[in-house]
Chain A
């Protein structure tokens, strides 16, 4: 651990490979307060990010407000949800997972997070167990100008299955803040993690998630990322390593950038296990903001199959969608493809619906709704409902 701190110290000024450099000293850090109590947190803020305050219909919950653990519980055997601080104290072996899916000195954000007292959540499902209901986690920012830095670890042991909904959101009064979120996912042999993240930020919030995923033989990692509200500057580029044979990773993102938003997102997948598969899909809409949709697939084993799809719609006169799909085949037995399309809604489609009696606005809204309706194979109905709800919610801002 000492070595990690040292490496972090050295990287404290290291700029990230992508994205605008952020001055961390402008944001406030506070000592964690008394644990427990959702008193301060507005229920509607939580609901808007897919978090159910009562925990009903969830197998476990973790809610953190700024730097304080506000709520943590579990309702199912074989499932663990804990504050990472507690988990580190409880399990000596957890250090074997600490900074193993990404490097501590990746950039100043990972380094800074390591040098803070550990915050964030730990989730684990035991060998062969499955979550009956999704687990939920919420990282909530309340104090104006706050810097929230968390380090989460999620482990699905062999043959385990877990569904997670995470909602990151802010108090309605908060305008500015910085969220640094380090997440490490470990999908063991034959296990499956479905991770659905709904981001619900504010005009002046800056977000720098750093994510690493390791998938073993036959393991499946499915990530669904939804960000539909304004956010000043978000840059994330999760990386998955499909180390085992026949491992699978799927990243789907649904992004809307209103004016004043800058979203630089995507995923990178190393397909190292024979027969491993990956898919990166993004549906992006600019209603005045900027979206950079990245995707980088690296085929490094026989019989791998990988596909990348970036579809972008620009709804307003001004708005930028920049798709950067990259395919990197490193040997001959790979099957990799991509398709990318950016543009406005086809007039032909609008008029087709108008011929059925829909006004131009109704036709446009119907097409946009369809566009955002990404079909995610194997997505539990409950998570799908949360995504649909978030989309329906954001529609009133779009038109």
Chain B
């Protein structure tokens, strides 16, 4: 689904990410851990294709095609979607209108918003006067409308209150086709067919209660230090902090 091959990224003339290689296979969900300011968001912004994130080395492939220099919106149209940590307010544009645009007018914003108990916010300006948790819901709503194949989530649970965290977690699981339920076909068959992939940045790990991740990575100072079982990494960081990851890198 997504391959990063030795990617280095510069922001404002400074190299933030160094020689990152990773592969997200179809149906896999990866989790990124790492202290603040190590380059996790930079990695997602680079995959999405934002200006100011210059790939100086390496290549990015998505669905078998190189997308290293492809414009942002083309990547979105190819099925990459992202939820932002601090999205901008867009005055005068109603959330309802944006959701309809995301859905290419194919799905009803009202119906989608019901799932997130968010219908009361549809007529507000995009990201205007929303609390942290409401912003996360608004982002998820747009992703639900977009229905991307590769979902990039930047701290989707931060600022979400306890009452809503389960709801947000379940919706993310649905986006990634990771809902645990009884399918017509055996689970193993369903899992084989699963195409939706995701990369999730998390600090708290809360999200992992609802979305069963396949691979965990740690980014330290712009380098990927490990790719392993996400639960194990999370437990290890919880116990020893990221110092243990530094030890692994040396």
Is B64 in contact with chain A by the CB < 8 A criterion? no
Residue contact B88 to A371, C-beta cutoff 8 Å = no
Point out the residues of chain B lying under 8 angstroms from A372, CB to CB: 92
Point out the residues of chain B lying under 8 angstroms from A356, CB to CB: 76, 81, 98, 101-102, 142, 146
Residue contact B92 to A373, C-beta cutoff 8 Å = yes
Residue contact A348 to B73, C-beta cutoff 8 Å = no
Is A116 in contact with chain B by the CB < 8 A criterion? no
Point out the residues of chain A lying under 8 angstroms from B142, CB to CB: 356
Is A31 in contact with chain B by the CB < 8 A criterion? no
Residue contact A352 to B87, C-beta cutoff 8 Å = yes
Point out the residues of chain B lying under 8 angstroms from A359, CB to CB: 73
Residue contact A351 to B90, C-beta cutoff 8 Å = no
Is B239 in contact with chain A by the CB < 8 A criterion? no
Residue contact A370 to B102, C-beta cutoff 8 Å = no
Residue contact A352 to B102, C-beta cutoff 8 Å = no
Is B50 in contact with chain A by the CB < 8 A criterion? yes
Given A347-B51, A349-B88, A366-B101, check contact A355 B93 (CB 8 Å). Answer: no
What is the CA–CA distance of A348 and B84 in the complex, to the nearest angstrom?
A: 12
Residue contact B102 to A357, C-beta cutoff 8 Å = yes
Is A22 in contact with chain B by the CB < 8 A criterion? no
What is the CA–CA distance of A357 and B71 in the complex, to the nearest angstrom?
A: 10
Count residues of A near B (Cβ-Cβ below 8 Å): 25
Is B43 in contact with chain A by the CB < 8 A criterion? no
Is B192 in contact with chain A by the CB < 8 A criterion? no
* Secondary structure of the A contact surface, majority rule: helix
Point out the residues of chain A lying under 8 angstroms from B4, CB to CB: none
Is A74 in contact with chain B by the CB < 8 A criterion? no
Residue contact A352 to B76, C-beta cutoff 8 Å = no
Count residues of B near A (Cβ-Cβ below 8 Å): 26
Nearest CB of chain A from residue B110's CB, rounded to whole Å: 18
What is the CA–CA distance of A348 and B93 in the complex, to the nearest angstrom?
A: 15
Mask of B47-86 contacts with A, CB within 8 angstroms, 1/0? 0101100000000000000000001110011000110100
Is A369 in contact with chain B by the CB < 8 A criterion? yes
Point out the residues of chain A lying under 8 angstroms from B104, CB to CB: 357
Is B209 in contact with chain A by the CB < 8 A criterion? no
Point out the residues of chain B lying under 8 angstroms from A373, CB to CB: 92-93
Nearest-CB residue, chain B, relative to A366:
B93
Residue contact B91 to A355, C-beta cutoff 8 Å = no
Given A354-B71, A356-B98, A357-B146, check contact A370 B90 (CB 8 Å). Answer: yes
Is A367 in contact with chain B by the CB < 8 A criterion? yes
Given A354-B76, A357-B76, A366-B101, check contact A371 B51 (CB 8 Å). Answer: no
Residue contact A351 to B72, C-beta cutoff 8 Å = yes
Is A360 in contact with chain B by the CB < 8 A criterion? yes
Nearest-CB residue, chain B, relative to A311:
B91
What is the CA–CA distance of A373 and B96 in the complex, to the nearest angstrom?
A: 14
Q: A357-B76, A358-B101, A370-B93 are in contact. List 16 more A-B contacts (CB 8 A).
A: A347-B51, A353-B90, A353-B101, A356-B98, A356-B101, A356-B142, A356-B146, A357-B102, A360-B73, A366-B90, A366-B93, A370-B90, A370-B92, A370-B125, A372-B92, A373-B93
| Chain B residues close to A by CB (< 8 Å) | 48, 50-51, 71-73, 76-77, 81-82, 84, 87-88, 90-93, 97-98, 101-102, 104, 125-126, 142, 146
Some 21 contacts from A to B, beta carbons below 8 A apart, are A346-B88, A347-B51, A348-B88, A351-B51, A353-B90, A353-B101, A355-B76, A355-B81, A355-B82, A355-B84, A356-B102, A357-B76, A357-B77, A359-B73, A363-B73, A370-B91, A370-B93, A370-B126, A371-B91, A372-B92, A374-B92
